[in-house]
């Protein structure tokens, strides 16, 4: 299975972010780093999350531990919204139709 890898150094250069920030995200368990030939890489499927975390860090000054908390809260909020939508759909089934 081929996987697309992106160099951490390239990501940091493009996004003007320190490599220590990426290392901190890795230590928090927010991203995985693959090491090949003494170089650090991230997988393509993590780029969206990594760019989001980078924006949160840069624009709101959130540190990696805070990013983990915000990520968890956003996940819970999305789940609650999905459940609310599901319950609304079920409730519509029992509402009288407009004839």
Question: What is the model's pTM?
Answer: 0.81
3-state secondary structure the chain: CCCCEEEHHHHHHHHCCCHHHHHHHHHCCCCCCEEECCEEEEEHHHHHHHHHHHHHHHHHCCCHHHHHHHHHHHHHHHHHHHHHHHHHHHHHHHCCCCC
pLDDT score of 2: 64
Name the fold adopted by 5-94: Multidrug-efflux Transporter Regulator; Chain: A; Domain 2 (1.10.1660)
- Residue-wise pLDDT for 31-89, tens only, equals 999 999 999 999 999 999 999 999 999 999 999 999 999 999 999 999 999 999 999 99
**pLDDT at residue 1 greater than cutoff 60:** no
């Amino acid at each position: 299975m081929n996987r697309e890898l992106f160099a951490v150094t390239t990501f940091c250069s493009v996004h003007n972010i320190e490599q220590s920030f990426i290392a901190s995200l890795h230590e928090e368990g927010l991203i995985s780093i693959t090491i090949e030939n003494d170089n650090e890489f991230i997988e393509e499927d993590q780029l969206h999350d990594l760019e989001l975390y980078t924006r949160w860090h840069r624009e709101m000054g959130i540190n990696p531990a805070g990013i983990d908390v915000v990520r968890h809260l956003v996940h819970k909020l999305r789940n609650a919204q999905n459940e609310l939508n599901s319950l609304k759909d079920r409730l519509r089934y029992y509402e009288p139709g407009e004839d």
